[in-house]
Amino acid sequence: MKLSEEKNVKHRLESFLLFDYHGVEKHLCKMAQNGWKLEETGRYFWKYRKIEPADLKYAITYVPDASDWNPEPTDSQLTLEEYCAEAGWEKIGDWEQMQIFCSAADNPVPVETDEKMRLDVIKKSMKKTFIPAQISVLLCMLIFLVQQFALSFQPDPIEYLSQNHTLLLAAFMVYVTVANLMNLFSYFSWCRRSEAAAAEGGACAESPNYQLIQKVTLVLTVLFVIAFTVTFMQESGNGAGAFMVLYLSIFAAVCVTVEQLRRWLKRSGVSKTTNWVVTILAAALLAFVLIGVTVFVSLQNNWLSEKPAAVYTAADGREYEIYRDEIPLTVQNLQDADHPNYSYRAQGGSSPLISHYDYRQHVWYTPGEQKLPSLDYEITEVNVQALYDFCLAEYLDDTDSKIIFGDTAGYYPADAAPWGADTVYQYHYEGDAANEWILCKDNRIVRLYASWPLDAEQMAIAGQKLLGEQRIK
């Protein structure tokens, strides 16, 4: 029964390393034996057409001056195609410098006969695209990692380590860096083995299963993206799902648009240089639009901000958000105080490394009202003991305080007994003790600020609430 046109064609996402001609030849021969013949190559997807299972032969060679950006085949490509056609080889497609030929003959004339020359040509070809591409990705990952360290980790390492999506993002950058280093290592290792084989009159080295490694890399990349998306949605509020759907949709549209533009410019006969410049500029412009549209729509819909329980409008017309989150310690636990405008806010996250939450209770005042007590505190549970000293040092770091209040400003040991803690530090500046403490017990570190001095009874209540065995959330 004749198959429909749709069933006669399929597209596959192929994941080869550009120098791995052995792997490509084996793959295409196996596809032909299974009844699929390569019809067209693309940057990401290769197109196959249904045939009767056949024992087709494939030959891969390279042309250093070939490029996916060239509007027409180069003279070297045309000469090669003419030679191969005379020898019974059909040009099937090309991918960057890689040229793919097919023959149905049982013993076709070999396309390559000098392995040393083949290796030299491959090296020249890899210097044009493969090596620069790998190095470019490495540089991008290095820039992103430095940016993550300087703008996200360094300002608040405890918060950074408590967010799963930031840890996943950093892990993904490291993973991509390692993957690209492995690609470069694989290439140079293959070159050394091929040089040794060619020097003894043999063929270039057989490649290990690079395609399998690339498939694993692709699967891991997809899993990273899924995990990051899910954790970002869980940690970033109710609108995070809409934000990610919009961002990923526009990002996919940008990628497709840029690739289609490149292909259209190529078909239109635009020069390689012009095509490259126009495509890069278009990608930069569309990336700017992507960020702008996503941020604008997110701000308009408050996708990444938590919806308050109420909004207080002051006499001067300014509006203040009021929250009713559950917090472990309230002013009311320590003294009699109540007000309809009291706001209770809890924010934070938990990762396998650290759980960290910020809590705040304060009141928005009507002009002329007497100020009421407020609390501001954060609780950190160190899930990995090796990080405890690092986290405590971050809390005790008083560099900024010394700059503002002098060398004597900072945290000093205080009596831990009233709190029921293992260790307590109290903040001092200008010779006076402030209403700010750091409480340590087991794997938990608490920084507490109260707007009034606490007595021993209040310290005991606060210590029980903040250092108790209940898990923070």
Whether 202 and 250 map to the same domain: the answer is: no
Whether 34 and 79 map to the same domain: the answer is: yes
**122 assigned to some structural domain:** no
Adjacent-strand bridge partners of 361: 344, 375
Whether 331 and 451 map to the same domain: the answer is: yes
CB atoms within 10 A of CB 414: 20
**117 assigned to some structural domain:** no
Last residue of a domain, one of 304, 321, 354: 304
Among residues 21, 16, 108, the alpha carbon closest in space to that of 63 is found at: 21
**472 assigned to some structural domain:** no
Whether 80 and 20 map to the same domain: the answer is: yes
How high is the pLDDT of residue 368? Answer: 67
Per the structure, the count of domains in the chain is: 4
pLDDT tens by residue, the chain, 473 residues: 334 446 789 989 888 899 999 999 999 999 999 999 999 988 778 999 999 999 999 999 999 999 888 889 999 999 999 999 999 999 999 999 999 999 999 889 999 889 999 999 999 999 999 999 999 999 999 999 999 889 889 889 999 999 998 999 899 999 999 999 999 999 999 999 999 999 998 889 887 777 777 888 888 888 988 888 888 877 776 677 777 778 888 888 888 899 889 889 988 999 989 999 999 999 999 888 888 888 888 777 777 677 787 888 877 777 888 999 999 999 999 999 888 889 999 999 999 999 999 999 998 776 666 788 999 999 999 999 999 999 999 999 876 665 566 677 889 999 999 999 999 999 998 778 999 999 999 999 999 999 999 999 999 999 999 998 665 55
Adjacent-strand bridge partners of 140: none
Whether 322 and 456 map to the same domain: the answer is: yes
> What is the C-alpha separation between 389 and 396, in angstroms, rounded?
10
pTM of the model: 0.82
Whether 341 and 441 map to the same domain: the answer is: yes
How high is the pLDDT of residue 1? Answer: 32
**473 assigned to some structural domain:** no
How high is the pLDDT of residue 296? Answer: 84
> What is the C-alpha separation between 424 and 445, in angstroms, rounded?
10
**123 assigned to some structural domain:** no
**120 assigned to some structural domain:** no
Last residue of a domain, one of 235, 257, 291: 235
Whether 63 and 40 map to the same domain: the answer is: yes
Residue 199 makes CB contacts below 8 A (sequence gap 6+) with none
Last residue of a domain, one of 304, 335, 360: 304
**124 assigned to some structural domain:** no
Whether 161 and 195 map to the same domain: the answer is: yes
> What is the C-alpha separation between 280 and 278, in angstroms, rounded?
6
> What is the C-alpha separation between 430 and 408, in angstroms, rounded?
7
Adjacent-strand bridge partners of 321: 311
Whether 58 and 78 map to the same domain: the answer is: yes
Domain span at 293? 237-304
How high is the pLDDT of residue 2? Answer: 37
Whether 153 and 213 map to the same domain: the answer is: yes
Whether 404 and 344 map to the same domain: the answer is: yes
Whether 316 and 444 map to the same domain: the answer is: yes
Is residue 70 within 8 Å of residue 129, measured between CB atoms?
no
Helix 130-147 vs helix 115-128: crossing angle, to nearest 10: 40
The first and second tokens of residue 383, run together, are: 């899930």
**119 assigned to some structural domain:** no
